[in-house]
C-alpha cells in the first residue's frame, strides 16, 4: 500500500480524488493549503503528492522542489485546470513526475499515479535486495534480472566455476565483479584476463609468467596472472577468444591448480577461482572445433545468462535514473528531472548494445540538454526519437485495427481517405510533441520541407506551441 | 575518438610512450595529461570520445594518485603500467580493473600491440563508436613489438 498526499484547496476535488485512490487500495491524506501540505510531507513519508497549482497561499510550483527534497522524496503529480499546457510544461521542467487535468476522466487521473506507485515499489525492492548482496551499483528489479541476482547469490557462496553469457553490454563484467565481491575471496585479487585483446603471442607469458632470462628481453622475472589470482578470482573475459593453442595448457592448470612459469624448472601452485564470460555461443564453437569441449565442460559448472535489455525494458527507467545521477555527480551538475515521455522514448528503442549503449546515449543526452533542469525526448539522439514516433504511430494504427476487427467490421471501417487523414494528423501531433515544436527538428525527422510541413499543419488546423 | 595518456613522468619517458601510441593513433588524437588535477578535471567531462586510457606510474606516490581517481575512472578501458612489483601495488592495481596490467620499467614495447587489439576489438564489438568519415583511424602499419618479444621467447623456451 502506497501513501498519497493530496494538496488542493478545493475540498470537493480532494474528496473525489481521495475516494478514487482508496478504491485502488492506497492511503490518502488531504491538505488544503501549501503551508499545511508542506508541513505534512516533511513530517510523514509519502510515495506521491497530488499538487494543485493555484492555491490560496501561492503557486504549487513554488513548493515542488521542497517536496522533492523531503526525506521520503515523493514523486509529484501536478493538478492543472483545463488546457493549461504551459503550466504543465513548467511543472515537468521543475521535476514533477507528470501532470493531470482536473477535468480528465478518472482513469486518466489514476494511470500516472499507478505508474508512480509501481516505480516506487521497484525502487524499494532494489534497496532491500542491496542489503543482502553487495551489488556495487548493479540496478534492476525485473524478473529476468532478479533471476540473475539469485544465481549471483548462489555463485557467491560456492566456489564453482561460473560462465557468464550474454550479448555485448549486458553486464557480464559487473556481475563477475559482484560474484567476487560477495564471495569469501573478496579481500584478494580479482584479476581480469582480457582474452580478446591480449596479443596471441603474449597470452602464455601473461598467464603463466616467466623467469628472468627465459627469453631475449626477459630481464626481469614476471609473475603470471594466474599466480596473482591466488586466493582470489581469475576473470577470463571473452574466453571464446582464448587461442586453441593455449586452451590445452590452461585446462591442465584448471584441473591441477599448478603450472610452470616460462623458463622455470619448478611448478608453482595457485588457489584461484574461475569466472569466465563470453558473448559467443561456445557450444557452437565446440562443434566447429574452435573451442575445447573439455575446457567448456570445466568452465561452466554454473552458467548465468544475462538477458538483453530489450527483454527487461522495465529496468530502463531505474537504470537511466541511476546513471544520470551518477553522471551529474561526476560533472558537478544539479541532478535532472525527467519527463514521462523521456522514459517512454527510451523504452521504445531496441538497445542492441544493451546497457552500455543506454549509458552512452544518456551521456550524449545530458550534453544535449546542457542546463535544462529536465530531460525531455527532444534531448535524445534523433534515431531514438524517430523510432519512438514510429512506434507510437504503430500503436495508434493497431488500436484502430483492433476496432476494425470488432463484431461488425463493415460498420466501423472508415473510408480510406478519412483513415489516412486521421493518421496524418496523429503523426503531426506526435511530431510536434516530440520535437517540442522545433520546426527544424520536425523537418529533419519527417523529411518534409518547411513549407510542406506548415501546409499540412494548416490543413489539420494544428499550431506549433513551444 | 581519442586515447587518454596519463604520464606524470619525465619528458623522455613520456615521449617514448607517446611514440608507441602514435604508431596506432594520430598525434592529435592522443590526450596527454601530466598532473592528477588535469586528469581529474578531464574525467569530469563527457568521455564518450575516449576509446581507452593508458595510465603510467613510475613511483608509488604517482600510482596512489591514479588509484585515488578510481571512482572517476569508472568503466574506462585501462592499460595500467605499475611502478613496482610489490604485492600491495599489484593488489591495488587490479582494483582499477585494468584490461592490461604491466610495469612501467619493462612493458613499453607491449603497449602498442595491446592497444592495437583493444582498439580493433572495441570497434568490432560496438564498445567504441567508429570515427565518422575516417575508417582508417587505427593505423594499419604493423606493430611487431609483442611478436618480437615472444618469437624470441618461443625460440628459447622449449
Ligand atoms: N545491471 C546493471 N546495473 C547498472 N549498470 C550496469 C548493469 N549492467 C551493466 N551495467 C553497466 O553497463 C556497462 C556494460 O557492462 P559490462 O561491461 O559489465 O558488460 P559486458 O556484458 O561485459 O559487455 P561486453 O560484452 O561488451 O564486454 C557498464 O558501464 C556497466 O557498469
Ligand atoms: Mg565485458
Higher-scoring residue by pLDDT: A317, A114: A317
Of all protein residues, whose CA lies closest to atom 2 belonging to ligand 1?
A: A138
Q: Which stretches of A282-370 are assigned E, i.e. beta strand?
A: 302-305, 337-338
Boundaries of every domain in chain A: 3-123, 143-307, 313-459
C-alpha dist (Å) from residue B93 to A135, A167, A228, B98: 21, 28, 11, 7
Say how many C-beta atoms besides its own lie within 10 A of residue A51's C-beta.
28
CATH for A313-459, among 3.40.50.720, 3.40.50.300, 3.40.5.50, 1.10.8.60? 1.10.8.60
Of all protein residues, whose CA lies closest to atom 18 belonging to ligand 1?
A: A171
Query: For the residues B103-123, what does the mean pLDDT come to?
Result: 84
- Which grid cell sits at A313? 525494458
Query: For the residues B32-59, what does the mean pLDDT come to?
Result: 91
Residue-wise pLDDT for A369-396, tens only, equals: 988 889 998 899 888 888 887 777 777 6
Whether A194 has its CB under 8 Å from any CB of chain B: the answer is yes
The ipTM, to two decimals, is 0.83
**pLDDT at residue A406 is higher than 70:** no
Which residues 37-76 of chain B have a CB within 8 Å of chain A?
A: 43-48, 72, 74-75
A174 lines ligand 1 (CB under 6 A): yes
CA distance B7 to chain A (A): 22
Which residue in A53, A44, A98 sits closest to A76, CA to CA? A98
Residue-wise pLDDT for A20-54, tens only, equals: 899 889 999 999 999 999 999 988 999 999 999 88
Query: For the residues B24-42, what does the mean pLDDT come to?
Result: 93
The predicted structure's pLDDT at residue A307 = 96
| Residue A114 binned pLDDT confidence (cut-offs 50, 70, 90) | confident
Higher-scoring residue by pLDDT: A80, A259: A259
Task: Tell me which range, A231-235, B18-22, B45-49, is most confidently predicted by mean pLDDT.
Answer: A231-235
Query: For the residues A336-360, what does the mean pLDDT come to?
Result: 92
Q: For a pLDDT cut of 90, what percent of chain A falls above it?
A: 51
| Residue A422 binned pLDDT confidence (cut-offs 50, 70, 90) | confident
Q: Please tell us whether the domain made up of A3-123 is placed in CATH 3.40.50.2000.
A: no
Q: What is the dihedral of CA B149, B155, B157, B158, to 10 degrees?
A: 150
Average pLDDT over chain A, rounded to an integer: 87
Residue-wise pLDDT for A423-432, tens only, equals: 888 888 888 8
A339 lines ligand 1 (CB under 6 A): no
- Which grid cell sits at A87? 503550466
| Residue A148 binned pLDDT confidence (cut-offs 50, 70, 90) | very high
Sequence-separated (6 or more) residues with CB below 8 Å from residue A140 = A126, A146, A148, A149, A312, A315, A318, A319
| Residue A235 binned pLDDT confidence (cut-offs 50, 70, 90) | very high
pTM assigned to the model? 0.69
A321-332 burial, b at 16+ Cβ within 10 Å, e below that, comes to bbbbebbeebee
Residue-wise pLDDT for A294-314, tens only, equals: 999 999 999 999 999 999 999
**pLDDT at residue A71 is higher than 50:** yes
| Residue B140 binned pLDDT confidence (cut-offs 50, 70, 90) | very low
Q: Which of A122, A146, A173, A325 best tests ligand 1's pocket when mutated (most atoms within 8 Å of CB)?
A: A173
A-chain CB neighbours of B149 within 8 Å are: 201-202, 205, 215, 217
Q: Which of A306, A326, A352, A356 best tests ligand 1's pocket when mutated (most atoms within 8 Å of CB)?
A: A356
Nearest CB among B46, B100, B114 relative to A363 is that of B46
Q: Please tell us whether the domain made up of A143-307 is placed in CATH 3.30.450.40.
A: no
What's the CA gap between A424 and A458, in Å, rounded? 12
**pLDDT at residue B153 is higher than 50:** no
CA distance A421 to chain B (A): 39
Query: For the residues A212-220, what does the mean pLDDT come to?
Result: 84
C-alpha dist (Å) from residue A231 to A274, A372, A423, B90: 11, 49, 64, 14
What's the CA gap between B110 and A188, in Å, rounded? 26
C-alpha dist (Å) from residue A97 to A240, A338, B130: 45, 7, 37
**pLDDT at residue A459 is higher than 60:** yes
Same fold across A3-123 and A143-307: yes
The predicted structure's pLDDT at residue A250 = 93
Q: What is the dihedral of CA A447, A449, A450, A454, to 10 degrees?
A: -90
What's the CA gap between A165 and A307, in Å, rounded? 9
**pLDDT at residue B138 is higher than 70:** no
Residue A58 near residue A131 (C-beta atoms within 8 A): no
| Residue A103 binned pLDDT confidence (cut-offs 50, 70, 90) | confident
Can you list the domains of chain B with their CATH numbers?
2-157 (3.40.50.2300)
**Helix, strand or coil, per DSSP, at residue A237:** strand
* Ligand 1 centroid to residue A338 C-alpha, Å: 23
| Residue A82 binned pLDDT confidence (cut-offs 50, 70, 90) | low
Amino acid at each position: 500500500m502506497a501513501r498519497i498526499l493530496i494538496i488542493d484547496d478545493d475540498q470537493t476535488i480532494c474528496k473525489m480524488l481521495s475516494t478514487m485512490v482508496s478504491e485502488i487500495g492506497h492511503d490518502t491524506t488531504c491538505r488544503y493549503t501549501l503551508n499545511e501540505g508542506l508541513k505534512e510531507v516533511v513530517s510523514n513519508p509519502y510515495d506521491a503528492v497530488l499538487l494543485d497549482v493555484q492555491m490560496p497561499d501561492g503557486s504549487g510550483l513554488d513548493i515542488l522542489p521542497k517536496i522533492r527534497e523531503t526525506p521520503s522524496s515523493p514523486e509529484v503529480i501536478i493538478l492543472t485546470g483545463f488546457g493549461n499546457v504551459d503550466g504543465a510544461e513548467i511543472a515537468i521542467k521543475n521535476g514533477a513526475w507528470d501532470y493531470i487535468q482536473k477535468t480528465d476522466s478518472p482513469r486518466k487521473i489514476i494511470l500516472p499515479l499507478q505508474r508512480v506507485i509501481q516505480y516506487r515499489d521497484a525502487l524499494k525492492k532494489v534497496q532491500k535486495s542491496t542489503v543482502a548482496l553487495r551489488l556495487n551499483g548493479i540496478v534492476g528489479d525485473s524478473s529476468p534480472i532478479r533471476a540473475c541476482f539469485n544465481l549471483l547469490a548462489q555463485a557467491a557462496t560456492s566456489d564453482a566455476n561460473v560462465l557468464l553469457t550474454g550479448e555485448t553490454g549486458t553486464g557480464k563484467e559487473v556481475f563477475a565483479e559482484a560474484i567476487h565481491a560477495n564471495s569469501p575471496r573478496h579481500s584478494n585479487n580479482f584479476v581480469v584476463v582480457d582474452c580478446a585483446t591480449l596479443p596471441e603471442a603474449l597470452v602464455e607469458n601473461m598467464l603463466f609468467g616467466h623467469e628472468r632470462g627465459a627469453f631475449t628481453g626477459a630481464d626481469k622475472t614476471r609473475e603470471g596472472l594466474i599466480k596473482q589470482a591466488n586466493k582470489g578470482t581469475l576473470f577470463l573475459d571473452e574466453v571464446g577468444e582464448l587461442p586453441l593453442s593455449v586452451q590445452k595448457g590452461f585446462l591442465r592448470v584448471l584441473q591441477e591448480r599448478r603450472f610452470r612459469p616460462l623458463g622455470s624448472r619448478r611448478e608453482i601452485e595457485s588457489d584461484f577461482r574461475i569466472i569466465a564470460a563470453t558473448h559467443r555461443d561456445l557450444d557452437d564453437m565446440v562443434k566447429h572445433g574452435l573451442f575445447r569441449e573439455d575446457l567448456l565442460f570445466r568452465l561452466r559448472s554454473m552458467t548465468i545468462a544475462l538477458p538483453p535489455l530489450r527483454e527487461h525494458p522495465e529496468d530502463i527507467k531505474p537504470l537511466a535514473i541511476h546513471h544520470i545521477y551518477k553522471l551529474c555527480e561526476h560533472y558537478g551538475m544539479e541532478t535532472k528531472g525527467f519527463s514521462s515521455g523521456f522514459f517512454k522514448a527510451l523504452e521504445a528503442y531496441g538497445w542492441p548494445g544493451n546497457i552500455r549503449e543506454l549509458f552512452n546515449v544518456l551521456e550524449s543526452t545530458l550534453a544535449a540538454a546542457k542546463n535544462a533542469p529536465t530531460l525531455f525526448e527532444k534531448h535524445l539522439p534523433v534515431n531514438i526519437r524517430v523510432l519512438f514516433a514510429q512506434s507510437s504511430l504503430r500503436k495508434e494504427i493497431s488500436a484502430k485495427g483492433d476496432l476494425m476487427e470488432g463484431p461488425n467490421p463493415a460498420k466501423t471501417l472508415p473510408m480510406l481517405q478519412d483513415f489516412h487523414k486521421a493518421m496524418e494528423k496523429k503523426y503531426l501531433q506526435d511530431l510536434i510533441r516530440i520535437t517540442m515544436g522545433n520546426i527544424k527538428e520536425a523537418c529533419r525527422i519527417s523529411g518534409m520541407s518547411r513549407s510542406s510541413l506548415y501546409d499540412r499543419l494548416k490543413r489539420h488546423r494544428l499550431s506549433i506551441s513551444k | 575518438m581519442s586515447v587518454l595518456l596519463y604520464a606524470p613522468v619525465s619528458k623522455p619517458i613520456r615521449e617514448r610512450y607517446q611514440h608507441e601510441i602514435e604508431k596506432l593513433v594520430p598525434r592529435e588524437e592522443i590526450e596527454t595529461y601530466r598532473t592528477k588535477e588535469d586528469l581529474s578535471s578531464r574525467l569530469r567531462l563527457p568521455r564518450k570520445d575516449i576509446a581507452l586510457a593508458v595510465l603510467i606510474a613510475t613511483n608509488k606516490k604517482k600510482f596512489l594518485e591514479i588509484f585515488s581517481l578510481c571512482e572517476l575512472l569508472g568503466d574506462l578501458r585501462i592499460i595500467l603500467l605499475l611502478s613496482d612489483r610489490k604485492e600491495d601495488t599489484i593488489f591495488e592495481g587490479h582494483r582499477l580493473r585494468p584490461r592490461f596490467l604491466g610495469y612501467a620499467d619493462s612493458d613499453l614495447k607491449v603497449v602498442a600491440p595491446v592497444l592495437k587489439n583493444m582498439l580493433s576489438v572495441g570497434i568490432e564489438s560496438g564498445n567504441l563508436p567508429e570515427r565518422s568519415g575516417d575508417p582508417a583511424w587505427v593505423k594499419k602499419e604493423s606493430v611487431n613489438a609483442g611478436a618480437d618479444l615472444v618469437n624470441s621467447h618461443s625460440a628459447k623456451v622449449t
